[in-house]
Structure 1
């Protein structure tokens, strides 16, 4: 439910090579990729650029997983991606935990659809650890001195990351499972003036926050980029199959009351 159209993507997979790996938090690993397969790779105007990684799944099979481009260094030809890791859960996390320099990974992309509105009076960025890469990239684009409020739900203090921006930064971490941030947002004091909002992460949480912003806060639709990255209890494949229904229900939540700037 991002506001901007998604650009066409190169369908021919690229092959990137692991250059380095760092443990950012107990549940997040940063991998920097390089190699000739990144020749010609480029990102554009968006701060939520993503790539489709082809994660090995055994028996010459792969599983496609979508990850945000944390950083693209065109001069060095290096692509940085941050992976959320919860033990042996899933495919991408365990791959990242085991990855070593020299390992390779195929991917498609990039795509994207959001960038902070430079005319907004203030900015609201909401998510969970899976969204921190996109939030961090977006913070770099906030104009100097403009208020930006970041609300992130994380498992605990060890999952918090330092954030930086040219803007006037206000960060609030909520510790708890998916959905714990909804109450925080409902009671949060919003600044005056038009907002540019980015709400991504666990699908049910995003749906609840989006409804609150549109219905209770009366924020115009076009000022909100909202999309589920994943859904509790569903695999990535299951979430992709369910997303059309999620979109329908999310629209049903607000169909009669969501305002517009028409």
Structure 2
């Protein structure tokens, strides 16, 4: 039977802007780097914020914490990118942020590949987690490596009796991660060794799925070309309500983040018009 409970609205999260210090960094898998950041301001961020987005502001070479703090407030604005909080440990004043390791193809990846304990990073946020409604009958979660942090955090926050399917696309079998997910969530790991090339694996699999009756909630994120096709499929052919479909492009093949955001917003408006028509 569909779950008719009205989900509670998320409590607004206090946002902070500060400079954090790297305490450690390591490779979780061959193509994923985890950086642990610390600072007293993290005490105000609840553990439940895992899966929320944040802005990271990259320091210039040799920039001191005071200079980075000043630049964040007054400019010139540091290079800024959007990432996901993978874990938050307010009792230890720590957060983890995962970075896909793709060498110097992007300022954040280049920073993460070279980072050392004691290095600094600007932080602004956090935003709310993307999966806060735990009243659905079934969950569809899909992500490529760029969106693994938000997808895994969402899975780990689900009720233990949750049912659904999670579909992940990673670069190698060694990039699969252990997830503390509910037993009722079926997991599928797909391998796509060349993320710079378009992949249809997730789209094909999701379009073939037989979804159950009841209320379905989605958390789908990754390369924008893939996500756009999935959004149209889920909202159009599957007729899922807009409020139950989180489908967000996190990057676009061949585009930097600033360029991607402009294209993403334009295409999202086009898709909404198409679905409404």
Which residue of the partner structure matches residue 151 of structure 2? Answer: 135
Out of 205, 228, 231, which is 1:210 matched to? 231
> How far 1:244 moved relative to its partner?
2.2
The answer to whether the aligner puts 1:225 opposite 2:246 as a matched pair is yes
Out of 162, 174, 177, which is 1:158 matched to? 174
The answer to whether the aligner puts 1:117 opposite 2:133 as a matched pair is yes
> How far 1:7 moved relative to its partner?
5.6
Contact persistence 2:152–2:179 (CA under 8 A): yes
Out of 240, 256, 267, which is 1:246 matched to? 267
Q: Structure 1 runs of 4+ off > 6 angstroms?
A: none
User: Counterpart of 2:182 in 1: which secondary structure?
Assistant: coil
> How far 1:73 moved relative to its partner?
0.3
Contact persistence 1:142–1:148 (CA under 8 A): no
Contact persistence 2:160–2:182 (CA under 8 A): yes
User: Counterpart of 1:133 in 2: which secondary structure?
Assistant: helix
The answer to whether the aligner puts 1:196 opposite 2:217 as a matched pair is yes
The answer to whether the aligner puts 1:103 opposite 2:119 as a matched pair is yes
User: Counterpart of 1:218 in 2: which secondary structure?
Assistant: coil
Structure 2: which 5+ residue stretches go unaligned?
1-8, 64-76
CA distance in 1, matches of 2:161, 2:148: 21
The answer to whether the aligner puts 1:50 opposite 2:53 as a matched pair is yes
Structure 1 stretch displaced more, 70-79 or 217-226: 217-226
Contact persistence 2:42–2:95 (CA under 8 A): no
Contact persistence 1:136–1:163 (CA under 8 A): yes
Contact persistence 1:179–1:204 (CA under 8 A): no
Structure 1 stretch displaced more, 171-180 or 92-101: 171-180
Q: RMSD of aligned C-alpha atoms? A: 2.4
> How far 1:79 moved relative to its partner?
0.7
Which residue of the partner structure matches residue 184 of structure 1? Answer: 205
CA distance in 1, matches of 2:10, 2:129: 6
> How far 1:62 moved relative to its partner?
2.8
> How far 1:152 moved relative to its partner?
1.4
The answer to whether the aligner puts 1:15 opposite 2:19 as a matched pair is yes
Structure 1: which 5+ residue stretches go unaligned?
257-262
Which residue of the partner structure matches residue 80 of structure 2? Answer: 64
Which residue of the partner structure matches residue 259 of structure 1? Answer: none
| Number of equivalent positions | 251
> How far 1:213 moved relative to its partner?
0.9
Q: What is the TM-score when the length of structure 1 is the normalising length?
A: 0.86
